Structure 1
Amino acid sequence: MISPIFVGHGSPMMAIQDTACTQFLLEYGKSISPKAIVIFTAHWETEVLTISASDDVYETIYDFRGFPDELFQIKYPAKGDKALASQIAARFQAKGIAVNLDTARGLDHGSWVPLLRMFPTPAVPVIQISVNPYLPPAEQYRIGEALRGLDQEDILIIGSGATVHNLRALNWEAKEPDAWAVDFDEWLITNMQVQNLEALFNYESQAPNARMAVPRPEHFIPLYIAMGSGDPSRTPQVIHRSYEVGSLSYLSVSF
């Protein structure tokens, strides 16, 4: 059994820098042996939930600019699994959740950067799934619920994003995390650990500094999908927590 996780994927520089978070990802990857990986990425937005469905090696997408040339030389040659993608699609459809299948899109950096640091050599199929940031948190959670039980099949579910992701608020001179970002994460951790879904679904009005932490929800809502996919009898556990440039959160949680 491999618990679903949410990981903060931060900057694309994670692919080439050694940090507390990249060290965590490497050690975490060594500790598990999934049969397949299902990853919801903040960098693929669609109105209808869309699942990568191909048996081929994915193209590595460089959906960023202004970074060192070294990043653009990296390839992450993970393969898909059309049959598994169809099985996952059927799970969503059984819950009344509309889905599309995509046979052409590659892995964006919300997927390949954390996967590269967890599993430097891809060895198992990867199923990439889009997000719709405009659905409310309760609906994101319901999307995750459709995948409950995959952990019992040793399929690793990953929500890839960031709990605090406000690029306009980055403090490049910071030596310590910004207090407002820490307070937001503390509120999340407290309510996740007591499984206060009502508060979590209404974070915009209840969490401190919510508008500052989540100016746009595409990086935030993979947290709810991962949470929903976990066994509700388990208490969520913080498996990593660090910050860069003041407020960029690398909080990672196991469900």
Structure 2
Amino acid sequence: MLSPVFLAHGSPFTLFEESEFTRFLKRFGQENRPKAIVIFSAHFESETTTIAATDDVHEMVYDYYGFPEPFYQVQYPARGSKIVASIVEERLKQNHIPVQMKYRGLDHGVFPIMMHAYPEADIPIVPVSVNPFLPAREQIAIGEALKGLEEEGILVIGSGFVSHNLREFDRDKDATPRAWALEFRNWIREKVMTRDIESLSRYDVLAPHAAMAVPRAEHFVPLLIALGSGSASRDVQVLFDTIEHGTGTTLSFQF
């Protein structure tokens, strides 16, 4: 089943880790083999929804700082697909969503996931931007415009984190989860599982500790886009769910 997913993308350290999370990504790739991937990355921001169209091997965007040299030598030579990019563009236009084509390479919201899930780099990838300042309902509408792409063998991925506050991350990956992070994670999980669009559209005022968990929305809105792109006739599935570094949830869904 190639139904849309929201995946936690991990930190740059995920590139070289062997963990339960990376083993999950490997299993996911083995179980889901699309013809192409359309991925909304938290690290690709634009006011207008932007599609990175190319048929060439993607460039690498090392959008992190202060890591050892091997982190800047990683290569993931997947190609893009102008045909798939055009399909996405047409779907968005038909639904009156402003869209533009402008190339950008693969950032760390994309290649750490892909390197573990699809190490052969043999699946075309089309990165699409997010605008963290759009209202939640508009984020969901972007996803809704892409409903049914799985019928064409195209997997839609939202890549981010349900909670993402670097100032609250503990250095210890196995640190005891903070109470506020658990409460926020549990609220989001419940509302997503029941497809409570009304509550999720107001998560910033309804969810406990929302301002702490989501100080800026760029890592959260890929969840709303992926949710919108799924079918309401299918049950939502939790794919993975842990809390690392005390506050960072790996909660991932299939819609």
Alignment partners' CA distance in 2, 1:21 and 1:196: 27
Distance 1:154 1:81 in 2: 13
The TM-score with structure 2 as length reference comes to 0.97
CA distance in 1, matches of 2:87, 2:9: 27
Measure, in 1, the Cα distance between the counterparts of 2:84 and 2:6: 21
* In structure 2, distance between residues paired with 1:106 and 1:164: 25
State whether structure 2 residue 146 is matched by structure 1 residue 133.
no
Q: TM-score, normalised by structure 1?
A: 0.97
1:115 corresponding residue in structure 2? 114
The one-letter code matched in structure 1 to 2:170 is N
Q: 1:164-183 to 2 correspondence within 5 Å?
A: 164-173=163-172, 175-183=175-183
Letter of the 1:122 counterpart: A
Q: Establish whether residue 145 from structure 1 lines up as the match of residue 118 from structure 2.
A: no
The number of aligned residues is 254
How much does 1:10 deviate? 2.3
Answer whether contact 1:61 1:106 (CA < 8 A) is retained. yes
Q: Which moved more, 1:127-136 or 1:62-71?
A: 62-71
- Which residue number in structure 2 is paired with residue 25 of structure 1? 25
Distance 1:84 1:7 in 2: 21
Correspondence for 2:155: 156
Q: Is the 8 A contact 1:10 1:249 kept in 2?
A: no
Letter in 2 for 1:165: H
SS state at 2:38 partner: strand
For residues 191-226 of structure 1, give each alpha carbon's deviation from its aligned partner in whole angstroms, at most 9, with x where no partner exists: 111111111100111101100000000000000000
2-structure distance, mates of 1:68, 1:31: 33
1:233 aligned partner: 233
Q: What CA deviation, in whole Å up to 9, does each residue of 1:128-187 have, x standing for no partner?
A: 000000001110000000000001222111000000100011122463222211111110
Shift of 1:47: 0.5
Kept in 2, the 8 Å contact 1:20–1:242? The answer is: no
Structure 2 distance, partners of 1:146, 1:115, is 24
Cα distance in 2 for partners of 1:183, 1:237 equals 20
Structure-2 separation of matches of 1:2 and 1:83: 19
After superposing the two structures, state which structure 1 stretch, 11-20 or 216-225, moved more.
Answer: 11-20
CA drift of 1:79 comes to: 0.4
RMSD across aligned positions (CA): 1.0
Deviations 1:47-77 (A, max 9, x none): 0000011111001111111112221111001
Q: Distance in 1 between matches of 2:162 and 2:117?
A: 19
CA distance in 2, matches of 1:249, 1:121: 27
Q: Give the conservation status (yes or no) of the 8 Å contact 1:10–1:248.
A: no
Q: Any idea what SS the aligned residue of 1:63 has?
A: coil
Residues 41 and 161 in structure 1, CA contact (< 8 A), matched pair in contact too: yes
Amino acid at match of 1:131: V
- Displaced runs of 4+ in structure 1, greater than 6 A? none
Q: Is the 8 A contact 2:10 2:112 kept in 1?
A: no
In structure 2, stretches of 5+ residues that fail to align are none
Task: Give 1:30-69 correspondences, 5 Å limit.
Answer: 30-69=30-69
Counterpart-to-counterpart distance in 2, 1:243 and 1:69: 28
Alignment of 1:66-105 (within 5 A): 66-103=66-103, 105=104
Distance 1:75 1:172 in 2: 27
